[in-house]
Structure 1
Amino acid sequence: MNIVAKQATWKELFSGQNGLKAIALAAGVILHATDVFLATTIMPSVIDDIGGLAFYSWATTAYVVAAIIGSVLSSRNLLKNGPRTSYRGAIFLFTSGALLCAIAPYMYVFLIGRFIQGIGGGLLFALSYAMVNEVFEKRFWPRAMALISAMWGVATFIGPFIGGVFAEYSHWRMAFVTLAVIAMSLLFLTERILPKKLAVIDEKASLPWMQLMLITLAALTVSGGAASQHIILNVGSILIAGILLFWTVKLDKKANNRLLPRGSYDLTKTLGATYLVIALINSSTAVEIYIPYFFKVIHQYSPLLAGYLTVLIAVGWTTASILFSGISLNKVRVSILMGLSCLFIGICGLSLIMPSQDLSHTVFFILISICLLMIGMGIGIGWPHLLTRVLTFAPKDEGEKASASITTVQLLSTAIATAFAGLVVNLTGLIEPGGLAGTQNAATWLFGIFALAPFTTFFLLLFTWKRKKRISKR
């Protein structure tokens, strides 16, 4: 099946009505992505002000777990209420959460705000993917997916700039107020551009509540274990989360109302294998939330500089997504393997370079920038084509579910991986003994362990493709 032989050009994507549609989809992703980078940049300042270092990763986990709920809600919202009303509700939730974060006196209030924000952000993120399948012809899909990825690049400049400037002058709360203002500006755009209803409306669209509850509990269980200093609770949380996820998969396979399209759990099929690769690759990005903290403690970087170095990951991701979005189908597999190699080398490089204080400032700056760019490029090289394969190989009668499932898988893998990252650093010295030595040890272990994700994916894909090739020759 040739999905790129008659691929649309960038000029066609931005021409006439297609251009307005593209702007509408891109705007929602910009808001969600800006919040991710802004929060990553200001978290060290938040911890300094209201405390809660043991719950550092929870600020991201709470947001991402809530975003999973939002992503699952998105397909039902879209089918029942239409694009315009769905975006309106998402923006309202996002704004409310941002304002609660801005006034939070304690960490638990801040986490509640992040959770509310996450539901709105997940809705916005998933709706953008879902609308690609609805408003564009198939030949536009790779470019549209690449555009959505590119919006993370735009957010890399907006998010750290807003967060870094306010954190630099000890006004991190105003960063969330600014986000609320941006969200309300987006509302004016979507109210004028997006249609009220889809061509096909399903008033009886329902939600897979049981599966949604189980995956939420799984992510929160790992997060709870990560905040503890007891090894039994740490290991136990992982085992319980594994059981909950296994139960979710077993239930979803038999359910009439599923989280993922039919065939998603069969790893011998293209759809199932694609979901697994997306999850494993995306989990590698969980290390990103601790990079600003490592920069601050180990290398005494300012919040603004640390934030902008961190976004090199997104710059690499965005650049590679755009550059490789138009490659031919027969080169997709090779490009994915090449991306996994870059990802592995980049994370291994961080494991060796980040804890070191033996390098000169200039040499460290150059090497760490190369590693961060390689991580981003490793993800972005094959990302648009992985997403396009989901839409292409999903059952034709489950198009909306397939679109929303991209975000669900992406956010779920992020939530679990982020919680696991918190567990790793807390066990390897971030809290006890803490300080410079503890942070250096935590950085070494975190990056070293997470380098296993692209390494495993690389050989899993090689094995799967060779197996399919042998079967096809019989």
Structure 2
Amino acid sequence: MLEKTPVTEQETGWEALLSGENAVHSLVLSGGVALHALNIYVVTTIMPSIVREIGGLEYYAWSTTVFVAASILGAALSARLLGAVGAGRAYAIGAMVFALGTLFCAIAPSMAVLLAGRAIQGFGGGLLYALAYGVIREVFRPELWTRAIGLISATWGTATLIGPAVGGMFAEFAHWRAAFWSLLPLTALLALLAFSTLPRKAATEEGRTPLPVLQLVLLVSIVLALSIASTLSTAAQQASAVGIAIVLFVTLLFAERRAAGKLLPSTSFNPTSPLAALYATITLLMIGLQPEIYVPYLLQELHGLSPLVAGYIAALMSIGWTAGSMTSAHWHGERAKRTIFAGPAFGFAGLALIAVFMPMIAANFLVIAAPLAIGIIAVGFGMGFAWPHIVTAVYEFAPDGEAEKASSSITTVQLFAAALGAALAGLTANLAGIETPSRDGVALATSWLFWLFALMPALAVLTAGRVWRARRKTA
């Protein structure tokens, strides 16, 4: 349990986080997350330009698939790297790996080389993203943890707004390679800052545990199976791929229970453990977010909006995430603990509003614009509102000697749940008939999609309530 020490607002406020040595640490940690997030959204925007020049349209989706799979692998190994070489060197290594992948992408003469670069990028980006949560515990006082997590969360949300604009600029002027080249000096600066300012002392906590090779192979295989499922053309093929993923997941559970080297902290699969409830909450919330990938499409298909307008309306979810993080990041005590189940409640309400108003085919979109926008914002707000305190609770309930592993597991679970949710959203939408030529059919599929996924944050309210009760017992 975290030690309770009386502190002043000056010691726990944003000024304390963004001044002196803390400011440099905040810049490095948020910079690594920004680099990872910007890359995701920039590449998504420039991919049409890439395939027009070097070909490989049939492997279009694999640009995301290999990146996500490698990111999960990097996140899972971040604790071992942090324990072996220390924060400064670990960040520098992650940045250099990311830079190597970026270089491959910038010079890629073919899709095969680009995909290799994306895999290397993903591994480095996963390291940087997961390291941010592990290093927070090393460089900031506990009183600043939630603000630091809130800053990282807000950085991600901001990058989702800036990334498409930056990528669009390079695509507009037909210089997609320059988008990758532009990331290299930023990556070099991040590596230099991290190496010179972050602690370089290696920990011993993770160094002697066996590497969970089998679990990592199974984890990446699950992500690949789910990613493939979202690209298959028939419901039977998709169901088969999801079935394979389920079998692999069950195998992963058995392997994790029996292995000497664990992928997650030792209490993660104990149904009565607060840590298990936290991971369940993260998973349910991340799955509930994934129908957002259909928001731009539905706004264009059902309501006739332009791609630009639809894209910015969809971006309201990211704005909501940032607003939620900044709202609750400075909260402490009982009010902070309640955010863990208040956040999922916001998410449920938001998805319910989208489920009701998105399918309404009105002659004038302005009739439904306000409640639809509120719903989209609420989904992101709920996630951002709860996220800083979910991460802090993971720190709190980490078993003795497994703090670094618990920190890296946050990103591993988050990325895995996002991949799972995206695949399930694609499967649900296709089975519901979202590709039907009839607008009424698309509207019906939309209702099914958002109502079914609204169940995820509703269930997260229950799992988060278990965490809240556990924290009250230990208070």
TM over 0.5: yes
Please point out which of 258, 264, 269 is paired with 2:273. Answer: 269
Equivalent pairs: percent with the same residue? 39
Say whether the 8 Å CA contact 2:303–2:362 is kept in structure 1.
Answer: no
1:318 corresponds to: 322
- 2:337 touches 2:468 (CA, 8 Å); kept in 1? no
Per-residue deviation at 1:249? 1.8
Deviation at 1:144, TM superposition (A): 1.8
Contact kept, 8 Å, 2:25 with 2:139, in 1: the verdict is yes
Corresponding position of 1:403 = 407
Whether contact under 8 Å (2:206, 2:405) holds in the other structure is no
- Distance in 2 (CA, whole Å) between partners of 1:188 and 1:122 is 19
Summarize the alignment of residues 213-224 of structure 1 with structure 2, pairs less than 5 Å apart: 213-224=217-228
Q: Cα 1:329–1:210, aligned 2, differ >3 Å: closer, same or farther?
A: same
2:422 alignment counterpart? 418
CA distance in 2, matches of 1:49, 1:3: 57
Q: Do residues 244 (structure 1) and 241 (structure 2) align? A: no
Report the secondary structure of 1:451's partner residue: helix
**TM-score (ref. length: structure 2):** 0.86
What's 2:458 paired with? Answer: 455
Q: Report the Cα offset of residue 413 of structure 1.
A: 0.8
Query: 1:347 touches 1:451 (CA, 8 Å); kept in 2?
Result: yes
Q: Per-residue deviation at 1:311?
A: 2.8
Structure 1 contact 94–116 (Cα < 8 Å) conserved: yes
The amino acid across from 1:447 in the alignment is: F
State the alpha-carbon separation in 2 of the partners of residues 219 and 356 from structure 1. 34
**Normalising to structure 1: TM-score of the pair?**
0.86
Is 1:358 equivalent to 2:362 in the alignment? Answer: yes
Question: Aligned equivalents of 2:108 and 2:370: distance in 1?
Answer: 38
Per-residue CA deviations over 1:207-253 (Å, capped at 9, x if unaligned) read 21110111111121122223222333222222221221122122212
The 8 Å contact of residues 160 and 308 in structure 1, kept in 2 or not, is answered as: no
Residues 321 and 383, structure 1, Cα contact 8 Å, conserved in 2: yes
Partner of 1:284: 288
Aligned equivalents of 2:443, 2:54: Cα separation in 1: 24
Residue of structure 2 in register with 1:446 after alignment: 449
Query: Which stretch shows the higher mean deviation, 203-212 or 392-401?
Result: 203-212
CA distance, structure 1, for counterparts of residue 469 and residue 29 of structure 2: 38
Distance 1:386-1:127 versus aligned 2 partners, 3 A rule: same
CA distance in 1, matches of 2:459, 2:121: 33
Q: 2 CA distance for matches of 1:295 and 1:105?
A: 36
Q: Is the 8 A contact 2:94 2:124 kept in 1?
A: yes
Mapped to 2, the partners of 1:39 and 1:442 lie a distance apart of 29
Local SS of the residue matching 1:381:
helix
Q: Distance in 1 between matches of 2:468 and 2:81?
A: 37
Contact 2:339 2:389 in 1 (8 A): no
Partner of 2:259: 255
Q: Tell me the amino acid that sits aligned with residue 227 of structure 2.
A: S
What letter matches 1:152 in structure 2? Answer: W
Mark the CA change 1:199 to 1:216 in structure 2 (over 3 Å): closer, same or farther: closer
Equivalent positions of 1:332-347 (< 5 A) are 332-347=336-351
Between the aligned partners of 1:330 and 1:201, the Cα distance in structure 2 is: 31
Listed as ranges, the gaps of 5+ residues in structure 1 are none
For residues 385 and 379 of structure 1, what CA distance do their matches in structure 2 show? Answer: 11
Change in 2 beyond 3 A, CA 1:298/1:168: farther
Return closer, same or farther for 1:86/1:293 CA change in 2, 3 Å cut-off.
farther
Between 1:83-92 and 1:209-218, the stretch displaced more is 83-92
SS at match of 2:402: helix
User: In structure 2, what is the Cα distance between the partners aligned to 1:3 and 1:264?
Assistant: 23
The 1:192/1:373 distance shift into structure 2, 3 A limit, reads: same
The alpha carbon displacement at 1:178 in A equals 3.2
Q: How large is the Cα RMSD of the aligned pairs?
A: 3.5
Cα distance in structure 2, aligned partners of 1:219 and 1:34: 22
